[in-house]
Structure 1
Amino acid sequence: MYEKASLPTAVCAALLFVAPDARGQLPVRLEFEVGGLQNPTDVTAPVGDSRLFVTEQLAGRVRIVDANGTLLPTAYLQLGSDFVAGGERGLLGLAFDPNYATNGHLFVTYTDSQGRLVLSRFTRSVTNRNQADTASEVVLLRLDQPFLVHKGADLDFGPDGYLYMTVGDGGGSGDGTCRPQELDTLLGKVLRLDVAPIDATGSYGIPPDNPLIGIPGALPEILHGGLRNPWRFGIDPLSGDLWIGDVGESKWEEINWADADERLVNFGWKIMEGPDCFNSPGCNGSNYLPCGSPLLRQPLSAYTHIDGCAVIGGQVYRGTDIPALQGTYLYADFCSSKIWAVRGFEGQLVSFEELTGQLQASASYSSPTSIGRDGFGELVMATIGGSLYRFVPEPNSPTPIHPLSGDVDAVSITSGGVQTLELDGGADRGGSFFFMSGTASGVHPGLPIDGTLVPIELDVYTFQLLDPTAGNVVTPIFGVLNGLGRSQVLFDLPAGVVDPGLAGLTLHHVFLAFGRDFAFEFCSNAESVRLDP
């Protein structure tokens, strides 16, 4: 059994489960990119690279789609004889080192001839940029799994430079034991590895802030747990937050979320499936958390098997082609081919929209297997039939409304500074009340307690963090939007009143809108400001 290390303050908390922004559907459509692939399982690209790289599950190949949209006939990488495919086995995940342009490193997950899940590093050929050196393989991890299913095996690098990997519970109906809740196994977990110092033997490092370092019997690779089959996940390249699609057992499909700064979040399986208790032999007794425990993280979003049968976790959009999609998380279902778009803030769902109809109208597709990110942050979807589709803007899309925007990115603790925040809730919210709130990310050096400096994680908003002598540095905290649904707020930080130890902290403002009857209507996007020395 384990417990979640910290629970962030939920800003738009408990006010409502879903609050769609009613200003119209997102201006996005699908555009066919290329076909001819065999069972693609992942699509990605190195940062700044105009090519797409696609894993073919059964063939054990990585293929390239060039900048002109042509599928190159020669594989970028072909796995060798120690490889087996079929069912949920095969070549499953791919991620490029953030420094791929200089070091040529890429990482893949696949099943070997003994059915073990393998994590390996390859290196790009020194003579051909469109091929990897098959002799360069360095195996980092071979993981025994008791059954042929629930591999997980997705890969991504976070903004922190570390490699993240999802691992399924090992399979078996209901996971006959309780592996996702145990700390002595990597099954049912999110792993976080330092792959910069790898030597020829495949020895990787453990990030120094991983939560289980030095804990007897616990594996230090573990970052989070309580997962069943986290087939695809994504890391927000801006915030570092994790968005995990966890394929369910008998009823629920889940989208799980964890803040970038959180450690050891317990997503509940197999004590719970979605919001429900699960009949979980092997997870009973005092060693495990009870069903419904607040230490079991509820999904950010979940749907039943009426709407599908296997969630395909997606990505948070951080590209530039579709401004209205900025900060939106897209995900799909393999069986129903439905696609949804959601926005979240600090673990709370604040908008939800199904896009299936408009996307099917632009390009007929079926059975998504992955939603990946190209080298410039644009989203690409793979389907089991071997096709890729791009998410592109609708022609003549209207200029998107950014409900909250600021004019500067940082203010100085020493000399002070002002960030002007423009609020725009839309004309339909004219006359609504607003309330400024938010959160913070970063680490304070610590508080002196009994002569010892005790580090703390900060997750409260501006006027709770700053020295009370600063007064209300956000003005006004409360107000009324004008007839066009707009207002202006100042984050006015006086010089020299803030603890210098807060330098480097980032504050994230939001505003909440309420109707004349004080019913909650809307939570804006987050707008950030950094505290510089």
Structure 2
Amino acid sequence: MTCVTRSGLAWGALVLGLLVGSACSDGGGGAPTPSPTPTPVVNTKPHFTSANAVSVPENSTAVFYTATGADPEGDPVSFRVTGGDDAAFFQITPSGQLSFKNPVDFEVPSDKDKDNKYIVELTINDPAGLGEGLILTVTVTDVTTGPYHVRRVATGLTQPVYATGVTDGSGRMLVVQKTGQIRVVDPASGAIAATPFLDVSSQVTTDGQRGLLGLALAPDFATSGLAYVFLTNMSGDIEIRRYATPAADRSRLDPSTAMLVLRIPHSGSNRNYGGWIGFSPNDGYLYIATGDADDCGTGVTTLSVARRCNAQGGSPLLGKVLRLDPTKDDFPADPDQNYGLTPTNRTLAILSGFRNPYRASFDRAYPRNFWVSDIGQSLQEEVNFVQIKNTYVGNTYHQDEQFDWPYLEGDIVHVNDTSYMRGAGYNRFTWNHGTGDYNANAIVGGYVYRGPAESLQGIYIAGDYSSGRVFGIKNDGVSPGLRLTQAFRPDIGTIDHISSFGEDQKGNLYIVDYDGELFVVVAD
């Protein structure tokens, strides 16, 4: 093609031709060079660079974790809460700052598994919406500093199994030793008096769960000097005995004053004795908790067999809570029975269906409220709450509550019979056997706290012999169980084998450890 230029051609047309890429040749021909095709950009999802686990102290709403991530293209990223069993408890900013919406309590876990491990899923996204998830485990830890602490009072005790305060204003504590002595402890100094309050070590057998197991001072001890003990005699039977102090010396019981109140045959087994004895602040009568002598358990699958077990109809006195008047003798011809039946019951037993009710207590603020722990066999531990009746049925007060062993172990059915109806009229709190922070393997009942530490007021305290864990119960029908093990960690020593709790005259709570230590909860 020949390119012709005319003198009158407008410069604008010439420029336009250049812009649109017109080509002129001298006839030699040729093709234009094509522009290269751009390489497509691939968007790769961002990924997390922060950890998948974090710990945070209880009661915190501050930021405790900052999510971080990287985007391969260098694009900005943002973060969201998108799932997890416990997602509802969390909030996160787009830049990744994670916090609890509201304070969470270590003692009352709210997470799905109730183990203080909260599971939340976080997601990281780029502007195009690509992203990935991260399952984050948030472990809530206990804050042990607070309005109370636990102080070690004394060491050097021998197999202590119970403690109670002397009701004479002295502040002294009496510690029962399974070996047959009751020692006097000064909580202020930790000194253990050289002379025992009582020594019957030559009169008790201590194999298995036998020994000197319980003590109750008479309500008028300050004037009468009378005290009652629960022990196993040389034949392995249960004996409830009364002793008296010399009139001029309330610091010791005189062994020569021993009087048998009640003997209960129990020689077939050295297990499941129960062992608690105490006076009701409501009616003033003596209450006794007895075990079932280990006569039933594994293999009891039918109602007909279970009904013959000691805790049910097999024994009138074993696997029961008994109530009697120790100031009377309705059986003068029987040397094994020196007590009176109270007008509040037709027989000694008022509560039945226990396996091993080792510890029990009354609430000093609400004296009809009775708590009794029952050591389980292989599945669950339990604590039961019941109000002792004080209303008439016919011409007598009457109470006959059924606590279900061996039909049930805790809430787990033993008998293979759907016709069985569990007892009513009481509350049951249970712990599965295991090693978790809310498991128990040998429950030890305590007291409803009425001491000077305000934050513990009204909470029932119990523990586990096998691990030293401490639990709390708010008996409101709503609150879950409390985990108090960390809060009860002492200033010195170790709480690892809780054998009992105790109260002094002022309501201070004591913890008895079987390895020889005595502790007390002190208000800050």
TM-score by length of structure 1 reads 0.63
**Distance of 1:388 and 1:67 partners within structure 2:** 9
- SS of corresponding position for 2:406: coil
Q: Deviations over 1:97-124 (max 9, x none)?
A: 1100011010001111111011000001
8 Å CA contact 2:181–2:196 kept in 1: the answer is yes
Residues 1:388 and 2:518 are matched in the alignment: yes
- In the alignment, what sits opposite 1:314? 446
For 1:252, the equivalent position in structure 2 comes to 380
Query: Given the superposition, is the C-alpha separation of residues 375 and 294 from structure 1 closer, same or farther in structure 2, using an over 3 Å criterion?
Result: closer
| 2:215 aligned counterpart, secondary structure | strand
Q: Which residue of structure 1 lines up, in the alignment, with residue 358 of structure 2?
A: 231
Correspondent of 2:221 among 70, 89, 100: 100
Aligned positions of 1:118-129 closer than 5 A: 118-129=239-250
2:344 aligned with 1:209: yes
Residues 1:271 and 1:230: Cα distance change in structure 2 (over 3 Å):
same
User: Which whole-Å CA distance do the structure 2 matches of 1:274 and 1:249 have between them?
Assistant: 10
Deviation at 1:21, TM superposition (A): 10
Q: Which runs of 5+ in 2 are unaligned?
A: 1-106, 111-142, 301-307, 391-398
The aligned counterpart of 1:459 is none
Residue 312 of structure 2 is matched in structure 1 by: 181
Residues 102 and 367 from structure 1, CA distance in 2 versus in 1: closer, same or farther, beyond 3 angstroms? same
Q: Tell me, in whole angstroms, the C-alpha distance in 2 between the residues paired with 1:349 and 1:51.
A: 38
C-alpha distance in 2, partners of 1:237/1:377?
8
Distance change in 2, residues 1:33/1:102 (3 Å): same
* In structure 1, C-alpha distance between the alignment counterparts of 2:264 and 2:403, rounded to whole Å: 21
For 1:3-42, list aligned pairs within 5 A: 20=108, 27-42=147-162
> Of 132, 135, 139, which aligns to 2:260?
139
Q: Conserved in 2, the CA contact under 8 Å of 1:268 and 1:297?
A: no
Q: How does 1:263-302 map to 2 (within 5 A)?
A: 263-279=399-415, 290-293=419-422, 295=424, 299-302=428-431
- Tell me, in whole angstroms, the C-alpha distance in 2 between the residues paired with 1:186 and 1:349: 35
Give the Å deviation of 1:63: 0.5
In our comparison, the structure showing a higher alpha carbon Rg is 2
2:274 corresponds, among 146, 149, 152, to 152
CA-CA distance at 1:87 after TM superposition? 1.6
% identical equivalent positions: 29
Contact 1:155 1:166 in 2 (8 A): yes
Report how far residue 335 of structure 1 moved: 0.7
Question: Contact conserved, 2:262 with 2:339, CA < 8 A, in 1?
Answer: no
- Asked if the contact 1:150–1:170 (Cα under 8 Å) also holds between the matched residues in 2, the reply is yes
> Using the alignment, how far apart are the partners of 2:495 and 2:388 within structure 1?
33
Taking structure 1 as reference, are residues 136 and 50 closer, same or farther at Cα in structure 2, changes over 3 Å only? same
Aligned with 2:311: secondary structure? helix
Residue deviations 1:70-91 (CA, integer Å, cap 9, x gap): 1111111011633211220000
* DSSP 3-state at the match of 2:487: helix
SS of 2:488's equivalent in the other structure is: helix
For residue 169 of structure 1, what is the amino acid of its counterpart? D
Does the CA contact (< 8 Å) of 1:268 and 1:298 recur in 2? no
Letter aligned with residue 188 of structure 1: G
Highest RCO, 1 vs 2 (Cα 8 Å, sep ≥ 6): 1
AA partner of residue 202 (structure 2): S
Unpaired runs of 5+ residues, structure 1, are 1-18, 214-219, 396-533
Task: Check the 8 A contact 1:267/1:296 in 2, yes or no.
Answer: no
Q: Equivalents in 2 of 1:136, 1:20: separation in Å?
A: 50
1:196 aligns with 2:331: no
1:325 corresponds to 2:456: yes
8 Å CA contact retained: 1:152, 1:167: yes
Matched residue type, 1:161: G
Q: Among 218, 227, 233, which residue is 1:112 paired with?
A: 233
Note if contact 2:108-2:483 (Cα within 8 Å) is conserved in structure 1: no
**Do the aligned partners of 1:274 and 1:298 also contact (CA within 8 Å) in 2?**
no
Q: CA deviation at 1:198?
A: 5.2
- The answer on whether the counterparts of 1:277 and 1:291 sit within 8 Å (CA) in structure 2 is no
Checking the alignment, whether the CA contact within 8 Å between 1:51 and 1:375 is kept in structure 2 is no
In structure 2, C-alpha distance between the alignment counterparts of 1:304 and 1:349, rounded to whole Å = 23
Q: Confirm whether residue 261 of structure 1 aligns to residue 389 of structure 2.
A: yes
Give the secondary-structure state (helix, strand or coil) at the position aligned to 1:331: strand
Q: Which residue matches 2:508?
A: 378
Name the SS of the counterpart of 2:355 in structure 1: coil
The separation in 2 between residues aligned to 1:36 and 1:324, in whole angstroms, is: 31
CA contact (8 A) 2:404 2:422 kept: no
Given that residues 267 and 298 in structure 1 are in contact (C-alpha distance below 8 angstroms), is that contact kept between their aligned partners in structure 2? no
| Contact 2:172 2:185 (C-alpha < 8 Å) held by counterparts | yes
Number of aligned residue pairs: 358
Instruction: Give, in angstroms, the shift of residue 323 of structure 1.
Output: 2.1
The reply on whether 1:352 has 2:506 as its aligned counterpart is no
| TM-score, length basis structure 2 | 0.64
- 1:82-97 matches, within 5 Å, as 82-97=203-218
Q: Aligned-pair RMSD on alpha carbons?
A: 2.7
Q: CA deviation at 1:95?
A: 0.7
Is the alpha carbon distance of 1:93 and 1:349 closer, same or farther for their aligned partners in structure 2, counting shifts above 3 Å? farther
Do residues 366 (structure 1) and 475 (structure 2) align? no
Q: Which amino acid aligns with 1:239?
A: Y
| Shift, 1:336, TM fit | 1.5
The one-letter code matched in structure 1 to 2:472 is A
Q: Aligned partner of 2:408: which letter?
A: M
